[in-house]
Structure 1
Amino acid sequence: MDAISQNREDTAPTVPALRLKERLTYEFGPLVAFFIGNQVGGIFVGTGIFMGATVLALLANFLRERRLPVTPLASTLVVLAFGGASLLAEEAWIIMVRPSVMNGFYALVLLGGLIAGRLVLRAVMHRSLVLSSDRAWRVLTRRAIAYLTLLVILNEITWRYFPVDVWVAFKTFAVLPMNLAFIAAQVPFVRRHRAASPAPGDDPAPR
């Protein structure tokens, strides 16, 4: 695991992989297109537009970085799979349950890693974040699992018990701000436990 040198510590990102403009472009743009499409033509029109906008956002990301990051690519493939199935079956619930399936899958992967003694979150984020101990990574992983589980619960409640338009508004205007708020809430913890050049065997207990 690469250590952050002292002369880079002040400029290193305190939140891993948080490239705000790119995240807003990739995530919020297609969601706004989805919301407008739903308002104009209903959930299936919105779904088709959402699929197209997601592909365009991935293409824009590729043209900017000259590579296809794994997470956006995987998310796009899932959107196309669930969106296509929803349109073919003419069943709105298929696209609406997609966030529950994705977030539940991520939570289970992280939880399974903890049970197996593997820090999956560290493996994913090691290029952008170095924490001072395995305990800190476990704390951050448990927080991520709890938050992902909360998203699953909220999505299930919203699509099952509220009108489609309410779910679309929730997905468009609530989830991304919640994600950013969760990330921001982790900044103090990350700052306390970010490693500069940890000494061998150093394993301070997270507060």
Structure 2
Amino acid sequence: MAGRKINPILKMVLEFGPILAFFVGYLKLKGQHFLIAGTDYDGFILVTAGFIPLMVLSTAILWRLTGHLSKMQIATVVLVVIFGGLSVWLNDDRFFKMKPTMIYLLFGGILGAGLLRGKSYLRVVMEEVVPLEHEGWMILTRRVTAFFFGLAVLNEVIWRTMSTEAWVTFKTFGLTAAIFAFFMLQGRVFRDYGIEEQEGDDA
């Protein structure tokens, strides 16, 4: 079910604002340590603790304004709460760093399960935005599935082998740029399998 339309700039702020706030907060607090209730927390954990309610709030506002959230948005905020909460509770940044891996494995697994059944679950999410023929959806879904699994592997490699600052930069800008570039490269699929909207009869 399609939601109500809202200002695209406001929508972008609600979707990407928390991510940018996390990045800025990390830059401000990186390398610092804070003693809270007898426990030492570094800046990353405190920024994560602030990111969780901010993400929940922005998602709730988006739902309030549009009357709709995609399954992807719901899954993302749930995993943010779970893995972010574990990082804060256990004072261990590894859980939050694993979160993108879990998100992309989940999405890739769901799309892959649909492909095994001969269906494109991606079509359910994107059909109103990008109308395609059935074969186009199957091609795009196979590519998106592989892409998600690739992002999951890439996230694991980066957070396990590089610094926290490198991972935060990758999460904030690298993932967004990779997704944008991926869909830009699917232009031929959109062109070859796109369905033009039928204009109403003037008669």
Moved more, 135-144 or 55-64: 55-64
CA contact (8 A) 1:29 1:53 kept: no
Pairwise CA RMSD: 2.2
**Equivalents in 2 of 1:69, 1:75: separation in Å?**
10
Residue number in structure 2 paired with 1:196: 196
Shift of 1:100: 0.4
Question: SS where residue 128 of structure 2 aligns?
Answer: coil
**Equivalents in 1 of 2:46, 2:19: separation in Å?**
13
Unaligned runs of 5+ in 1: 1-18, 199-207
**Equivalents in 2 of 1:30, 1:67: separation in Å?**
19
Shift of 1:197: 7.2
Please list the CA deviations of residues 2-38 of structure 1 after superposition, one character each: whole Å capped at 9, or x if unmatched.
xxxxxxxxxxxxxxxxx96466323431111111222
Residue number in structure 1 paired with 2:126: 125
Please list the CA deviations of residues 171-203 of structure 1 after superposition, one character each: whole Å capped at 9, or x if unmatched.
1121112212222222332122112379xxxxx
Task: Name the CA shift for 1:176/1:149 in 2 (closer, same or farther; >3 Å).
Answer: same
Residue number in structure 1 paired with 2:151: 151
**Equivalents in 1 of 2:76, 2:44: separation in Å?**
20
Moved more, 122-131 or 88-97: 122-131
Residue number in structure 2 paired with 1:40: 28
Please list the CA deviations of residues 146-173 of structure 1 after superposition, one character each: whole Å capped at 9, or x if unmatched.
2112211210011000111111111112
Shift of 1:108: 1.3
Task: Name the CA shift for 1:92/1:170 in 2 (closer, same or farther; >3 Å).
Answer: same
The yes-or-no answer on 1:102 pairing with 2:103 is yes
Shift of 1:105: 1.2
Moved more, 76-85 or 25-34: 25-34
CA contact (8 A) 1:104 1:149 kept: yes
CA contact (8 A) 1:83 1:95 kept: yes
The yes-or-no answer on 1:29 pairing with 2:21 is no
Residue number in structure 1 paired with 2:115: 114
Question: SS where residue 174 of structure 1 aligns?
Answer: helix
Unaligned runs of 5+ in 2: 1-6, 30-42, 199-203
CA contact (8 A) 1:38 1:44 kept: no
Q: How does 1:1-207 map to 2 (within 5 A)?
A: 21=9, 24-41=12-29, 42-132=43-133, 134-196=134-196
**Equivalents in 1 of 2:16, 2:184: separation in Å?**
18
Question: SS where residue 130 of structure 2 aligns?
Answer: coil
**Equivalents in 1 of 2:8, 2:186: separation in Å?**
16
**Equivalents in 2 of 1:159, 1:123: separation in Å?**
32
Task: Name the CA shift for 1:81/1:103 in 2 (closer, same or farther; >3 Å).
Answer: same
One-letter amino acid of the counterpart of residue 64, structure 1: L
Question: SS where residue 196 of structure 1 aligns?
Answer: coil
Q: TM-score, normalised by structure 2?
A: 0.78
Please list the CA deviations of residues 115-162 of structure 1 after superposition, one character each: whole Å capped at 9, or x if unmatched.
122221123323333212x32211101110121122112100110001
One-letter amino acid of the counterpart of residue 25, structure 2: G
Q: TM-score, normalised by structure 1?
A: 0.77
